[in-house]
Structure 1
């Protein structure tokens, strides 16, 4: 593989203009195509095999228009100056209803002046709108059109806001200034790392091209596949981070070779042969981790995983083709435009080498100290609070949160997440007053925590009934999920009771995630360790690397628990406390973390953490093969990679931390978790824990049974044969008499 990459890098360097023009045209064509043709996204959050999915499937059969989930929109009315039934206000509402009925695809509009449609204070009302035949992939556009039709009510001084009936996993997350902030912060880090503006711009330009290409592909895929709405933001986050980092690793090695007097074209060839191989393997681990999400039993996560991986593939491709093309075109001008007072990263990293030597002299103390520190960082994870997240945690003043608060005030907290109960009957009924229907209704009404049960609706076949149930609890309250369980536990002869809706969906997704998490973690760890085994032909190193990555995850989850579950700093990341909270709770209040977030975070973090492991192990392995002194090799490996890994980590942290500014809670949790994990991974783990364990393991690091060495294909990422010299031979496996 290293020979192939070396030849590829050399060809790209010699044909730099062609490669550069090709990438620019491809990126522009893909992005332009997605902009012109549109980037359809899917709001499909189905969970096959769950009771929620069964309820939603039954809702589509014979209950009339608009009962398909996503086919109902609610507009909340609020009259601050008096009751809605005032003659002038009521007429304005009636005018709004008439205009709503004229909106395309609207098949039913329920007046707020109905039983259950207006609050007891007569100032808050609900308009329920059912749609059919509309484009369900554009809920935001549909809601805006309906809200606009209610302008006659606004003209009468009535506040009209649209309630958000989607789940957090269903929300469209739009890009914003966070990407710009992340890129600017990354540029500053690169300027300090390299000391020259030209060198700093190479990774930035490469990453932007790769992100544009990846987003273009994802946008066009929406025309043939169900692309989750979160795919764009996740691809941008991951694509920017790995795109800049991969280019940074290549550029750093190239500049070191230039400083040693190696000609430009030869330097590019050697760089792609060695560091390019590490990039390919690092990208492979990220892809493995993301692809393993297909085992989670949650189609949205599975699709989100492999589609997000497109940005990683784009980052790897641009790193091994576009970066060498730019380096070939620039030549020694890569060091042009030096920034005054900045020396740049041309040194070998004597400070990190000194740290490596210091660790090598006292490995046991460093190991124990690192374990204690990491244990303290991970300890808060025991308080991690998983649960549903509703619009009550949205940005203060946003329309979804305003609607949520008005509904809770007028109709109770449970009205924000009504349960949809669908019961299959043993025989056909024609009347909602049938004894069987009445018995089911009474059983549901008698469940603890049920506040209200609407009049049952019988489907066209007479074999199913639908009940809308309002509980006493907000959707994010864990007691609401208990009500779901109790209703599902209703046992009547021949009757099957199913529960759907927002609360039920979130409860079922949590259960599915908890069931599948061990499988996903096991597969990711196993396949990643196998990839490292192929790369370094060292079983102990492969297993140790997987364990180290799991340790960094503990710190990430500890940070999430501290900020969100315990609430220490939730206000600092932009989470607004519920309205009416006292001053202390405004500063520190707990926020539940969606059940699917830890699994997604695990996959992303495990893959990204492996990047630094691959680059560090590559350097240590090369040093060990030169002189055979394990402790010295560890110190030299840390010295040669410490500066670049630190710079790469700072860039990742800057990019991910910038996304904390997003108003969406899910993006905030990812920003916090990713930023903390990368920071811990690149400092405590790669700077202290990994070197200490490698010193203690000694020759065991590179031990490989001869039978296994013969079985493994030669896929070394180190590229020794590209360097020449005595170490260009394939190293013999270390035997320990085993």
Structure 2
């Protein structure tokens, strides 16, 4: 593979303008097409085979469109000056309802002046609007149009706020300044790392082209597959980070070869043959980890996984084609526009080599110290609180947060997450007065944690009955999930009970994640270790790398627990506490983490952690093949890659930290987890733990049984032969009885 990549890199360097123009035109065409023909996004968060999905399907049968997803929009009306029943206020509300009834797709608009439509203090009312014939994916736009139609109530001094009726997949996350901030921070890191403006702009340009190409492909794929609205932001976050990092690794090696006097095209060829192979294998581990999400049994999560993988593929392709083309075009001008007082990283990092030598002299102490520190960082993970995030955690002043607070104040906290109970009847009933229907209603009312049960509704064929159940707890309260399970556990002769709704769906998602997590983790670890085995032909190295990556994940989940579950950093990441919180809760308040987030984080982090492992092991392996001294190889490998890996990690941390500014809680969670994991991985693990264990293992690092060595294909990523061509004569390598199979 190294020779093939070397030929590709050399060709791209010699035909730089062709490659550059091709990539720019392709990125512009893909991005332009996706913007000119924006594809529909899917709000489908269904989980096939779950009880919530069964209830959702039953709701479509004979109960009317108002019970389907996006079939009903609710508007909260608040009178700060007194009762809504006063004549002028009541008239204004009725005028607003009349206007709503004339809006497109509106079948019925219920006035708040009905049973259950107004709060006990008479200041908060609920207008329910039932829709038909509309696009469920356009419910956000329709809701805003309906809200504007209620202006007669606002003109009378009343507050009208649309309630949020979307599901997690329907949250549109719009791009913002975070991408710009991340790119600027990355540029600053690159300037300090290389010392020249030209060299610093190469990874940025390549990453932007890869992200644009990936987003264009993702946008066009939305016409043929269901694409969640989070897809673009996830692809941008990961694609930007890995795109800059991969180009950085190639550029660093190329500049070192230029400093040694290697001609430009030959330097590019050697760079792509060696570091390019590491990029391909590193990207492969990320893609494998993301692809394993297909086994999670959650279509939304699976789609996010392979969509993010598209951005990684684009980053790898630009790294091994566009970057060589740019380096060939620039030649020695890659070192132009040097920044005063910055030396850059033209050669190996002597400081990191010194650290490697220091670790090699005291591996046991370093190993014990690293384990203690990492254990302390991972310990809070035991307090990780999973659950569902409701709009009560949204930004203060936002419409969803305000509607949530008004609903909770006027109608109880559970009104923000009602359960939809569908009873399938063995016998046909005439109407809601049937004994079986009344028995079901009474049984549901007697469940602990149920605050209110609506009047039952029988479907058209008389074989199903629907109840809207309001829990006594907020949607994010873990007790609400227990209410869901208790209602499902009801045993009533002649009735099969199913529970749906947003809270029930998220409860099922959590149960499905818990069930599938061991499978996904096992597949990711096994396939990633297998890929490393193919790359380095060293079983112990592959196993050790998988274990080290799991350790960095523990630190990431520990950070998430500290920030969100223990509430020590929720204010710092821009989340606002509930208005009714005490003074202490205003400072430290916990926020649940969506149940599907840890699994997605695991896949992404495992793949990214393996990137640094591949680059470090490649350098160590190259040194070991030259002279056969394991401890010296570890020191030299850390010295040659330490500064580059640190710079790459700083870029990743900067990009991921910038995304914490997004108002969406899921993006904040990913930003915190990814930033902490990468920082820990590139410092404690790659700088101390990995070198210490490699020194202790000695020549056993590269041991491979003869039978295994015979059956493994030759897919080495070192490219050592390529480096030595036309170069100085290497010093003789001492015989190694371990790798020789003796």
* TM-score category of the 2 structures, normalised to the smaller one: over 0.9
Distance 1:339 1:583 in 2: 50
Are 1:709 and 2:709 matched, yes or no? yes
Residue 567 of structure 1: aligned partner: 567
Q: Is 1:617 aligned to residue 609 of structure 2?
A: no
CA deviations on 1:117-156 (whole Å, 9 max, x unpaired) are 1111111111112222212222321211211211221112
Aligned equivalents of 1:644 and 1:224: distance in 2?
A: 40
- Corresponding residue for residue 118 of structure 1: 118
1:71-150 alignment, distance < 5 Å = 71-150=71-150
* Equivalent residue number for residue 536 of structure 2: 536
Match of 1:242 in 2: 242
Whether 1:368 aligns to 2:374 is no
The answer for the alignment partner of 1:638 in structure 2 is 638
Match of 2:474 in 1: 474
SS of 1:498's equivalent in the other structure is strand
Q: Deviations over 1:357-387 (max 9, x none)?
A: 0000000000000000000000000111111
Q: How many residues align?
A: 738
- Give the corresponding residue for 1:152: 152
**Superposition deviation, residue 448 in structure 1:** 1.0
2:684 is equivalent to residue 679 of structure 1? no
Displacement after TM superposition at 1:732 (Å): 9.2
Structure 2: segments with no counterpart, 5+ residues = none
In structure 2, the partner of 1:4 is 4
648-657 or 719-728, which deviates more: 719-728
Q: Is the 8 A contact 2:380 2:562 kept in 1?
A: yes
The residue correspondences of 1:506-545 to structure 2 (distance < 5 A) are 506-545=506-545
Match of 2:25 in 1: 25
Q: Distance in 2 between matches of 1:86 and 1:291?
A: 60
Question: Does the Cα contact within 8 Å between 1:65 and 1:107 map onto a contact in 2?
Answer: no
Whole-angstrom CA distance in 1 between matches of 2:243 and 2:173: 22
Moved more, 169-178 or 30-39: 169-178
Give the structure 1 partner of residue 200 of structure 2.
200
User: Match for residue 486 of structure 1?
Assistant: 486
Return the alpha-carbon distance in structure 1 between the equivalents of residues 737 and 84 of structure 2.
Answer: 83
1:273 CA displacement: 0.7
Structure 1 Cα separation of the partners of residues 114 and 23 of structure 2: 60
Partners of 2:483 and 2:580 in 1: CA distance:
27
CA shift digits 1:156-193 (9 cap, x unpaired): 21111111122334412111111111111000000000
How much has 1:737 moved relative to structure 2? 5.7
Contact 2:199 2:334 in 1 (8 A): yes
Query: In the TM superposition, what is the alpha-carbon distance from 1:672 to its structure 2 partner?
Result: 0.5
2:301 touches 2:600 (CA, 8 Å); kept in 1? yes
In structure 1, runs of 5+ residues without a counterpart are none
User: Larger deviation: 125-134 or 492-501?
Assistant: 125-134
Q: Is the 8 A contact 1:721 1:729 kept in 2?
A: no
Q: 1:405: how far off?
A: 0.2
Contact 2:274 2:719 in 1 (8 A): yes
User: 1:416-455 alignment to 2 at 5 Å?
Assistant: 416-455=416-455
CA contact (8 A) 1:285 1:610 kept: yes
Contact 1:702/1:733 (8 A) holds in 2: no
Question: Are 2:376 and 1:358 equivalent residues in the alignment?
Answer: no
What are the Cα deviations for residues 680-704 of structure 1, in whole angstroms up to 9, with x where unaligned?
Answer: 0000000000000000001111011
Distance 1:423 1:678 in 2: 49
Q: Is the 8 A contact 1:178 1:661 kept in 2?
A: yes
Over 3 Å counting, the alpha-carbon distance change for 1:32 and 1:177 in structure 2 is same
1:704/1:733 contact within 8 Å kept: no
Corresponding residue for residue 64 of structure 1: 64
CA RMSD between the two structures: 1.5
Displacement of 1:563 after TM fit?
0.7
Contact 1:168 1:390 in 2 (8 A): no
Matches of 2:693 and 2:412, distance apart in 1 = 57
The aligned runs of 1:572-651 (5 Å cut-off) are: 572-651=572-651
CA distance in 1, matches of 2:402, 2:23: 46
Distance 2:256 2:347 in 1: 8
SS at match of 1:137: helix
Q: TM-score, with normalisation over the residues of structure 1?
A: 0.98
2:271 paired with 1:307: no
Matches within 5 A, 1:319-330: 319-330=319-330
* TM-superposed deviation, 1:658: 0.6
- Structure 1 pair 692–91 and aligned structure 2 pair: CA distance change class (3 A): same
Contact 1:722–1:728 under 8 Å retained in 2: no
Cα deviation, 1:45-80, whole Å, max 9, x if unaligned, reads 001111101100000011012211222211111111
Q: How far apart are residue 727 of structure 1 and its match? A: 7.0
State the TM-score, normalizing by the size of structure 2.
Answer: 0.98
For residues 657-672 of structure 1, what are the structure 2 equivalents within 5 Å? 657-672=657-672
Q: Distance in 1 between matches of 2:248 and 2:112?
A: 60
Pairing 1:154-193 to 2, within 5 Å after superposition: 154-193=154-193
Which stretch has the larger CA shift, 492-501 or 621-630? 492-501
State the Cα distance separating 1:575 from its structure 2 match. Answer: 1.1
For 1:167 and 1:338, the matched residues in 2 are separated by 51
- Give the conservation status (yes or no) of the 8 Å contact 1:720–1:727: no
Q: How big is the shift at 1:242?
A: 0.1
